[in-house]
Structure formats: C-alpha cells, structure tokens
Amino acid sequence: MKTVRQVTYDILRRNNIRIIFGNPGSNELPFLQNFPDDFEYILGLQESIVVGIADGYSLASGNPTLVNLHSTVGTGNAMGALANARSSHSPLIVIAGQQHRAMMTVEPYLANIDATQLPPPLVKWSYEPSTAQEVPYTISRAIHTAMSEACGPVYVSVPYNDWAHEAEPQSTSLNTRKVLSRRVLDETSIEQIAQKINNARNPVMVLGADIDADDAYDEAVKLVEKIKCPVWAAPSISRCPFPNTHPCFRGLLPIGINSISVQLSSHDLIIVIGAPVFRYHHYETGNYLPAEAKLIQITCDGNEATRAPVGNAYIADIKPTVIQLIDKVKVRDGKLPDYRRTPHQVDLTSPMQPETVFDTLSRVAPNNSIFVNESTSTVAAMWERLSFNNQGSYYFAAAGGLGFAMPASIGIQMACPSRPVFVVIGDGSSNYSIQSLWTAARYSVPVIFIVMNNGTYAALHWFASALATDGIPSFDLPDINYTQIAEGYGVQAFSAVTPEELVGAINKTKSSGKPALIEVATWGPRQHT
C-alpha cells in the first residue's frame, strides 16, 4: 500500500510538476523525505523569494507550479509575493507544513493557527485536510483549481504526520483525472461584438496581460490589422500584449480616471481585451469614459468583469475569443495608422540617463530577449526604447509589489532557457529581494541583473509631485555597494558608468553563461549635490 506522500508525488508527476520551489522548516521535512530522483528542489533564502521564483516560472511556462512554505511564519513572509501572483493569474500550488495533528488543540510551537484563514484573499482556495487520507484528494483539487480560469494561487496546509499514513486505495484514481476547460462565447455574442466594431466610427483597442498569458499575441496583431485601429497597453500592465514597435501601438495608457478618459476622448468604441477596466493607480476626479463612448470588455476573470464600473463585459478565454472575432470583423478601408515616433535624443552618458541605458540595451540585447522590470520610475522610457516583439518579452509586478523582478527572472529563465533574460531594477527595489542572487548562483541560472543606481526612490519623488504632498521626509538611499553584495552571494559583478562599459559588461556576462549583476550609475540626486 502506498503512503500519502507517495501518492501525492504520483499526482504531481501526472500533472507535469517535477520542480518544487521552497524554503522548508521542520514541518516540511516529512514531505521531502526520500526525495524522488526525478524531482528537483530549488531552494530560496527567504519565502517571498521562493514564491517570486515560482511565480516567474509559472508565468513563463504556463504550468502549475509547486511552492513549499514553512507553516505560519513562512506563509507570512510570502504574502507580498502572493499578492503579485494573484493579480498575474499565476497557478501556484502552495503547500505549507502544519504541526502534528495530535498537538493542534494546544497550539504548539510552529502551529499554523486557523491555517485556511491566513492567505485569503490572496488565493483562490485555501484548505487543510481533515484526515491524512484526504491529502491526495486535496492536492489534486488544488492543482485543478489553480489551473481553472481565471488561474491563480491556491493554498494547502498539511500536518506533517499525514505524509507517512497509508493512502486510501481509491486515491490512485486521481492519477488518471483531467479537468479540461475552454470557454468560448456563443455565436450571438460574437456577432454582436463584431457588429459594434464594424459600425464604430473610430474604435480603439486596449489590450492587457492576459493576451500574452493565453499566447494570443499573434492573434491580437491579426485582429488589430483588420480593424486598423490604435492599440493601447492597459494601465499598470504586467506583461506586453502587443508588439510595441508595431505602427498601431500608441503606448501605455495613463493610470488615472480622468487621464484615461481624456486620452481616449476621440473614440466612440473602446474594446478592452485581457485586462480589467481599469487598473487605476492614483485618484483623479473625472468621468470613467468619454461622453458618448461605449466600452466592451472581454476577460477570462469573472471578478474583473463584475467590478468594472462601465461597459458590457463578456467572460471567456482570451485566445479562442480573439480568433472568433478575427473571423467576424470586416476589414476596414484605408491604410494602417502609424503612431511610431523617434525617441528624443539624450546626450548625457556619464553618469547615464535611464534612456541611455535602454538605448544601449536595445543595441546589444538579442531579439528574443526577455526583460523583467522593477525600475518603476523609468517604465515609460523603457517601453519607448526597448523592443517587445515576441510573446513573453516583458514582465512586471502585477500587484505592484516590490521584490518581484529579481526572483521572478530566475523562474522565467528556468522556464525559457533558450532566451536571454535581463532584469532592469532600481537600487531601492533591489534591496527587497537581493538574496535571489544566491539562488541564481547556486543553480547557474544565467540572468543578467542590471541595477539602476540613482541613489533614491525616484518613483516616490514623482508621486509626491503628482499628489502635491510637500514636506515629505528624504527618500534618498545611503551608498550601497551592490557589486560587493552580488559577489558575496557568488555572482560575478561589474560596474558601468558609460555606455561602453555597460556593453563590455554585458558581453562578458553573455559569454560566461553564468548570472551576473551590473551596477549602472544613473542620473539622480547625488549629481545635484
């Protein structure tokens, strides 16, 4: 008779889960006992980093991904990263170790008190099996729940003595189960949407991260080129849904209610696909939509559909719905619009402006590169100067939680070993998850980490101005030597002050096949003193 642990590993194999990302404690060791040879355990130094790596792996692979956390304290450390995973629809299966069942009523050391109540609302489902025999059924359900649209993280708390119990004989049937779902709109709904698009005087499309997540990148281009309309990336976007060098691409929508309405004011029909309506950031008074404009939203997420303040929403999977629309909309007369513009020239090269860094990266990064961004004050410049022309080319923290980019890039690189991965991160942001470097070094994951060191939290300076909040404390950072920190974690490190030095460092890194950190001095408050 197989044990609960053995049946659980069989279920993981059946669902193509062979990597476990974790930072275990004593409660987790019975699950890891006699660790199978066909599995790999990726260790992180802190739980938020573990979830971040798993998040990146899940986003880039599209597969369910297992995370191993330590009871209450490990879960607590990971909560910020879980917020990003929830917003990005990452199908993470979090298994947290629980204390021995026989002691739970006395709340022993390292017990996860009210375990199922800890992670909500950051997970789709949270459960602790009532018996050891229920564990395999719970793990199977967790995997299928995480992968059901809209995908998202789930949480299972398992008492550590459960793993050694005999499994129920019928639990082996879980190894042959499948849960399949592909939601398409009915013919009437598709005809109605297509008719509105065909009849629109001046339609515009707003595309979101789920275009990229559902591998509908090429289909989005086909649809836009039939309609011949401008395309905006949704505000606060975490993935690139459309080639940013395409003639129809306008750029990133702003993040305020009135600002979006003003930007879309010339359009009578707004088609939002794969995005919420809308992910606003700071509050502005004004109208949600321009006067007389109508909005259609197509989303895989029922929550996004129900919370939208305006428009008609359709809940369906993104790629098949876009394909349906391609077949139904008419080809518009005339030429494609061309909104491309040449970025403004930047002459400062020592220290470099962020624009100079991106121009340099644009010249040396291969065409299939992946960029993971956490330089929050330079997002617009990055989109203007780098090329995201392939599916899965760009990632950003979906909930805005700092500490995403460094660990996520490791998971992304593991899922996409044939594509170069570059992290562009601010010096302030890097301190949230710099321990990620150790994992990159230990497992030889060849990510290139570029730290933009301007000596401050520049994004806060921008928001202080936008929110008219004068007299705030200083947000400048002390002198931190990021190259020495990287070397301490076993990662090769370089400093760059000029474009030539940056090119040299990148070329050395690429030829080594190992992870590297490049600290780039950029224009900031230190240059004003």
- Assign a CATH topology to domain 4-176: Rossmann fold (3.40.50)
Question: Bridge partners of 156?
Answer: 95, 127
pLDDT tier at 529 (50, 70, 90 boundaries)? very low
Q: What angle do CA 97, 98, 99 make, to 5 degrees?
A: 130
**H or E stretch at 488:** helix 482-488
Kindly state the average pLDDT of the residues 153-164: 97
Q: Is this structure's pTM higher than 0.95?
A: no
**H or E stretch at 22:** strand 19-22
Collapsed DSSP state (helix, strand, coil) of residue 125: strand
Helices (H), 130-238: 135-147, 187-199, 209-213, 217-227
Cα 436 from Cα 52, distance rounded (Å): 9
pLDDT at residue number 476: 62
pLDDT at residue number 315: 97
Reading the block at residue 281, the tokens are 């950031």
Contact criterion met (CB below 8 Å) for 524 and 354: no
The one-letter code for the residue type at 63 is N
- Assign a CATH topology to domain 354-528: Rossmann fold (3.40.50)
Cα 296 from Cα 139, distance rounded (Å): 37
Percent of the chain beyond pLDDT 70? 94
Min mean pLDDT across 131-135, 415-419, 524-528 is at: 524-528
Query: Are 187-328 and 354-528 in the same CATH fold?
Result: yes
pLDDT at residue number 343: 81
pLDDT for 170 beyond 50: yes
**Superfamily of segment(s) 187-328:** TPP-binding domain (3.40.50.1220)
Contact criterion met (CB below 8 Å) for 274 and 298: yes
Cα 138 from Cα 129, distance rounded (Å): 7
pLDDT at residue number 376: 85
Contact criterion met (CB below 8 Å) for 293 and 254: no
DSSP states along 376-428 = GGGHHHHHHHS---STT-EEE-TT--TT-HHHHHHHHHHH-TTS-EEEEEEHH
Q: Taking the C-alpha atoms of 211, 215, 217 and 222 in order, what is their torsion angle to the nearest 10 degrees?
A: -100
Average pLDDT, the chain: 93
Kindly state the average pLDDT of the residues 67-85: 96
Catalytic residues: 25-26, 28, 47, 70, 281, 400
Kindly state the average pLDDT of the residues 329-334: 93
The answer, yes or no, to whether the previous bond of 290 is cis (omega within 30 of 0) is: no
Domain ranges of the chain: 4-176, 187-328, 354-528
